[in-house]
Amino acid sequence: MPSWKVTLPCTRAEAEAIDAAEDLGLDSAPVLMTTEDVEDDAERWHLDAYFEVEPNDAAVAAVQALVPSARGRAPAIEQLDDEDWVTMSQAGLEPLHVGRFYVHTAAQDAPPPEGARVFRIEAGRAFGTGHHETTSGCLAMLDGLADARFTDVIDIGTGTGLLAFAARELWPEARVLATDIDPVAVDVTRENAEVNAVPGIDLVVADGALADAITDRAPYDLLIANILAGPLVSMAPEVAAIAAPHATVVLAGLLGRQASEVIGAYTACGCTLEARDDRGDWTILRLRAGAERYVPTAPIDPAGRDGWALDI
């Protein structure tokens, strides 16, 4: 079926707020994407809202309300052909070379760097092609840990599975568990593992880190969570609770201005900051779990996570 796109200019501040926008209350909720038009120009961004059906006046007004700077500007509204717009939006991505890893799509047939571990990750139904600063930063962080030894790895919010695949490549003897709240992402990871001949990745659909399939395998000595700042903060006690003493914890999906609150949440659970990688507006953190396994001071109720959430 064809889809529809509503486009409006916005600022970087509005784009960052949109990343954390609440449900717009529409029967047909759009997928929202923001893009920087001019590098390092905080005033030159735009918002694309993709609808599965033609947006009515209320839907357009809801999108317009997200970008006050565009007040008075008529949105561009267009009908798209019967194609996967997510794939279309990322079709121009160039191959990515990070450390020993080389990530490309099927449309990119240039020869990879000699000796690189090649992953084919198609743009499409799940986040994590490697091109966003958070994913490429995590790849670089993991590559820098290659000389370490890990035996139990978990990738929380795996998306396309790319970071779990990198961990499997770096530590072939480790058990690797990839989880995501979205069943589609888990399906995509399974498909990508087959395409890239990545063995031994266990998959779980789970909200957070409290599922039996996760806790039964704890503790983990490498924990990766590339999600968003709010969930990182709210999940800190449950993530820390499944970490082995002195475990390495890699966190991403947070903006630089959110780093102190994320660090604070994990420090309260016994972790200490070891490294920080700032890439544009985004930050990747590496922390070390405490010398003793963390025990939450109160039972963790997933329904109560909203009360811990970071205001972003």
Structure tokens at 295: 């025990």
Q: Which helix (H) or strand (E) holds 19?
A: helix 12-19
Q: How far apart are CA 199 and CA 193, in angstroms?
A: 7
189 is in an annotated binding site: no
Provide the CB-side half-sphere exposure for 188 (13 A, CA): 24
Q: What are phi and psi of 305, to 5 degrees?
A: -60, -35
Secondary structure of residue 180 in the 3-state scheme: strand
Is 215 labeled as ligand-binding? no
Structure tokens, 132: 């966003």
Inter-CA distances, 276 with 90, 121, 279, 290, 312, Å: 28, 26, 10, 18, 20
Measured distance CA(15)–CA(36) in Å, rounded? 9
200 is in an annotated binding site: no
Cα–Cα dist 226/232, whole Å: 9
Is 281 annotated as contributing to ligand binding?
no
Q: Which residue has the tokens 């811990």?
A: 308
> Are the beta carbons of 101 and 166 closer than 8 angstroms?
yes
CA atoms within 13 A on the CB side of 111: 3
Q: What is the spatial distance between Cα 224 and Cα 163, in angstroms, rounded to a whole number?
A: 8
Secondary structure letter of residue 304 according to DSSP: G
User: Which residues are known binding-site members for S-adenosyl-L-methionine?
Assistant: 135, 157, 180, 226
Annotated binding-site ranges = 135, 157, 180, 226
